[in-house]
Amino acid sequence: MAVATVPETLLAPAGLNRWDSPWLNTKFVSGLVMVVAVLLMGLIGTRFWPERLALVASSPINLPPAWVSPNPQFGPPEAAHPLGTESNGRDILAVIITGAPRSFQVGLIAAGIGMLVGILLGFTAGFLGGWVDNVIRTVADSVITIPSLALLILVSSYVRVVDISSMALILAAFSWAGPTRLIRAQVLSLRERGYVRMARLSGISSFDIMFREMLPNMLPYLASSLAGNVAGAILAATSLEALGLGPTRIPTLGMTIFYAISSSAVLRGMWWWWGFPILILIVIFTGLFLMAIGLDEIANPRLRGASADA
C-alpha cells in the first residue's frame, strides 16, 4: 500500500522556520558575544599571558606598543610587551587581562544585589499596595533624588581598605531604588491580568502569586534592566576609581586610568596607558547596551514587529 507524504514546507506555517526564535535577536546576540569575549579574555588570558606582569616593577617602564615606531622619549618597543608598559613597570596587556573581569565583577555584584532588593521591594509595593506601597515608594524616591555620586565619593573616602567586595557593596547601597520603581510599575500592570485574578480566587498565597506566577513573565524585562544596571554600576565604579578611590592592590580598568592621569600620560603622549582600558570599557558598555535593547525587544513583541518592519 502506497503512503503519501506531505512536504515539510506545506506543514510549517508560511514565513516561519527554525531560526525564528525571539531569543535569536541580532542585538542581543551581538552584545552577548562582546561581553563574553571580554570575560573569556580574563578567564583564559591568564593561561597564555603571565598575570605577574600586572604587578609593579615587573616589566621595563614606558615601552610603547610593539607596532609603534621607536621614539627617543620612550624605550624601544619589545615584542614581549605587545601593548606596551607604563611608568610603574606594569605590562598593559596583563593589566587589561586581569583588570577587565574585575571591573565587570564589581558592576555585576552591585547590580545583582540592587536588582534582588528591587525585586523584593518592587513586588511587595506593587502587589500589596496601601501603606506598604506608600512607604517603599517614598523611600525609593528619596534615594533617587540624592546625588549618589557625591555620596559614593564621601563613603569611599572614609573606607580604609577598598577591595572588590566593599566597592560592590558601596555601589549596591544606591543601586536598588531605580529597579524598585520600575518593577513596581510593571507589577501594578500585571496584577490586573486575568491569570492573577484567577490565582487570587483560587486561594493561592500572595508570595506564590508574586514569585511563581508573575515573576516568570517578567524575566526578559528583568534581564534587560539588569544589563542596564550592570553598565551603570561599572560606570560608577570606574568614576570612583578614576578619582583614586578604588582598590589599589589589585588592577582594575578605572585605577589604570587614574594612574595614567596622575602620571600625566596624556601630556607625555603615552596614549596606550589610558587608551586600551577605555577601549575595553567601550566594548563592555556597547555589549551591555545591545543586550538591554535586544532583551527589551524579546520581552515586547511590538518592538520586534517594529524592528522587523524597519
Sorting pLDDT into bands at 50, 70 and 90, what band is 7?
Answer: very low
The predicted pLDDT at position 211 comes to 84
**Where on the phi/psi map is residue 129: left (φ > 0), alpha (ψ -120 to 50), or beta?**
left
For residue 209, tell me if it sits in a domain.
yes
Task: Answer yes or no: is pLDDT of 216 > 90.
Answer: no
The predicted pLDDT at position 20 comes to 53
Answer yes or no: are the C-beta atoms of 298 and 304 closer than 8 Å.
yes
For residue 32, tell me if it sits in a domain.
no
Sorting pLDDT into bands at 50, 70 and 90, what band is 245?
Answer: confident
Give me the chain's average pLDDT, please. 83
Sorting pLDDT into bands at 50, 70 and 90, what band is 11?
Answer: very low
Sorting pLDDT into bands at 50, 70 and 90, what band is 260?
Answer: very high
Answer yes or no: are the C-beta atoms of 38 and 104 closer than 8 Å.
yes
For residue 299, tell me if it sits in a domain.
yes
Domain total for the chain? 1
Answer yes or no: are the C-beta atoms of 246 and 167 closer than 8 Å.
yes
For residue 66, tell me if it sits in a domain.
no
The predicted pLDDT at position 302 comes to 65
Answer yes or no: are the C-beta atoms of 96 and 53 closer than 8 Å.
no
Task: Answer yes or no: is pLDDT of 162 > 90.
Answer: no
Which structural domain, as residue segments, surrounds residue 236? 39-60+82-303
**CATH code assigned at 235:** 1.10.3720.10
Task: Answer yes or no: is pLDDT of 289 > 80.
Answer: yes
For residue 12, tell me if it sits in a domain.
no
* Cα separation, 69 vs 124, whole angstroms: 62
* Cα separation, 238 vs 54, whole angstroms: 18
